[in-house]
Chain A
Amino acid sequence: MDPMKRVEKDLKKCVKCGACRAHCPAFAAFQREPAVARGKVALSQHLLAKDIELDDQTYLAMSKCLLCGSCVEKCPNEVPTDEIVVAAREALAEQRGLTTFHKAVGRIIKNRRMMSMGAAMAALLGPLFFRKVPATSGLRLRFPLPFIGGKRHIPQLAKKPFLSRHPEIIQGEPGKPRIVYFVGCMTNFVYTEVGEAALALFRHLGCTVIIPKDQQCCGLPGMSGGDMETVRELAGRNLAILEKHEADYVVTACATCGGALHKFYPTVVGKRNPELLQRLQALAEKTVDAAVLLQKLGLHPEETGAGDAMKITYHDPCHLRTRAITRQPRELLKAATGVQLVEMEGADKCCGLGGTFNVYHYDRSMQINAGKSEAIRQTGADAVVTGCPGCMMQLTDGLKQSGAPTRVLHTLEVLARKIGN
Chain B
Amino acid sequence: MLESRILENIKAIVGSENVATERQDLLCYGYDATQMEFLPDAVVHPGSVDEIAQVLKLANAEKIRVFPRGAGSGFTGGALPKGGGIVLVVTRLNRILRIDTENLIAEVEPGVVTEQFQMAVEKQGLFYPPDPASLKFSTLGGNVSENAGGPRCVKYGVTRDFVMGLEVVLPTGEVIRTGGETYKGVVGYDLTRLLCGSEGTLGVITKIILKLLPLPEAKKTMLTIFDSIDGAARAVSTIIGNKIIPTTLEFMDYATLQCVEKRFNLGIPENGRAVLIIEVDGDRELIEKQAARIQELVKPLGLVECKVAKDAAESEALWKVRRLVSPSLRDVNPDKFNEDIVVPRSKVPDVIRSIDKIQQRYDIPIVNFGHAGDGNIHVNVMIDKTVPGMEEKAHRAIGEVFQAALDLNGTMSGEHGVGLAKQPYIHLELKGAQLAAMQAVKKALDPNNILNPGKMFPL
Contacts and interface: CB of A to CB of B under 8 A. Distances in A.
Given A15-B35, A18-B73, A76 B27 contact: no
B137 interface: yes
Nearest to A18: B73
Given A12-B334, A16-B35, A21 B71 contact: yes
A107 interface: no
B33 A52 contact: no
Contact of A52 (B20, B27, B138, B326): B27
Contacts of A18: 32-33, 71-73, 134, 137-138
A78 B73 contact: no
A16 B25 CA distance: 15
A19 B35 contact: no
A17 B134 contact: yes
B113 interface: yes
> Which of B20, B72, B326, B334 is the most central at the interface, judged by chain A CB atoms within 10 Å of its CB?
B72
Contacts of B35: 15-16
B23 A34 contact: no
B188 interface: no
A14 to B, nearest CB: 9
Interface in B312-364: 326-327, 330, 334
Contact of B24 (A16, A43, A78): A43
Interface in B96-117: 113, 115
Nearest to B323: A76
Chain A interface, >50% SS class:
helix
A43 B27 contact: yes
Nearest to B30: A42
Contacts of B92: 31
A278 interface: no
A403 to B, nearest CB: 28
B28 A34 contact: yes
Contact of A42 (B20, B31, B134, B326): B31
Q: How large is the interface on A (under 10, 10 to 19, 20 to 34, 35 or more residues)?
A: 20 to 34
A398 interface: no
A34 B28 CA distance: 6
Contact of B28 (A17, A20, A42): A42
B258 interface: no
Interface in A2-61: 12-13, 15-22, 31-34, 38-39, 42-43, 46, 52, 57-58, 60-61
B327 A76 contact: yes
A77 B263 CA distance: 13
Contacts of A16: 31-33, 35, 72
A46 B39 CA distance: 13
Given A52-B23, A77-B330, A33 B72 contact: yes
Contacts of A32: 20, 25, 28, 45
A22 B35 CA distance: 20
Nearest to B386: A12
A38 B23 CA distance: 16
A34 B134 contact: no
B72 to A, nearest CB: 6
B136 to A, nearest CB: 4
A77 B27 contact: no
Nearest to A20: B137
Among A17, A34, A57, the one with the most B-chain Cβ atoms within 10 Å of its Cβ is A17
B137 A21 contact: yes
Contacts of A22: 113, 115, 136-137
Nearest to A33: B28
Interface string B222-245: 000000000000000000000000
Nearest to B385: A12
A314 to B, nearest CB: 20
Given A16-B32, A16-B35, A21-B137, A34 B71 contact: no
B31 A17 contact: no
B3 interface: no
A12 B115 CA distance: 28
Contacts of A60: 24
Contacts of A43: 24, 27-28
Contacts of B72: 16, 18, 33
Contacts of A46: 27
Nearest to A58: B24
Interface string A219-251: 000000000000000000000000000000000
Contacts of B270: none
Contacts of B115: 22
A78 B71 contact: no
Interface in B78-105: 91-92
B67 to A, nearest CB: 14
B29 interface: yes
B285 interface: no
B22 interface: yes
A18 B326 CA distance: 14
B31 A34 contact: no
A57 B23 contact: yes
A228 B57 CA distance: 51
Contact of B327 (A33, A34, A42, A78): A78
Nearest to A53: B23
Nearest to B74: A18
A31 B138 CA distance: 14
Interface string B131-152: 0001011100000000000000
A42 B23 CA distance: 12
A61 B24 contact: yes
Contacts of B334: 12
A60 B23 CA distance: 13
A34 B71 CA distance: 13
Given A18-B73, A21-B137, A31 B27 contact: no
Contacts of A76: 326-327
Contacts of A21: 71, 73, 137
Contact of A39 (B28, B33, B45, B91): B28
B91 to A, nearest CB: 7
B428 to A, nearest CB: 26
B62 to A, nearest CB: 25
B91 A31 contact: yes
B33 A17 contact: yes
A43 B37 CA distance: 12
A16 B92 CA distance: 21
Contacts of A39: 28
B330 A19 contact: no
Nearest to A9: B334
Contacts of A57: 22-25
Residue among A13, A19, A77 with max Cβ neighbours from chain B (10 Å): A19
B309 to A, nearest CB: 21
Given A16-B31, A22-B137, A39-B28, 17 more contacts: A16-B35, A17-B73, A18-B72, A18-B137, A20-B137, A21-B137, A22-B136, A33-B25, A33-B28, A33-B72, A42-B27, A42-B28, A43-B24, A46-B27, A52-B24, A77-B327, A77-B330
12 contacts: A16-B72, A18-B72, A18-B73, A21-B71, A21-B73, A32-B28, A34-B24, A43-B27, A57-B22, A60-B24, A61-B24, A77-B326
Interface of A: 12-13, 15-22, 31-34, 38-39, 42-43, 46, 52, 57-58, 60-61, 76-78
The 7 closest A-B pairs by CB, nearest first: A18-B73, A22-B136, A33-B28, A21-B137, A39-B28, A57-B24, A22-B137
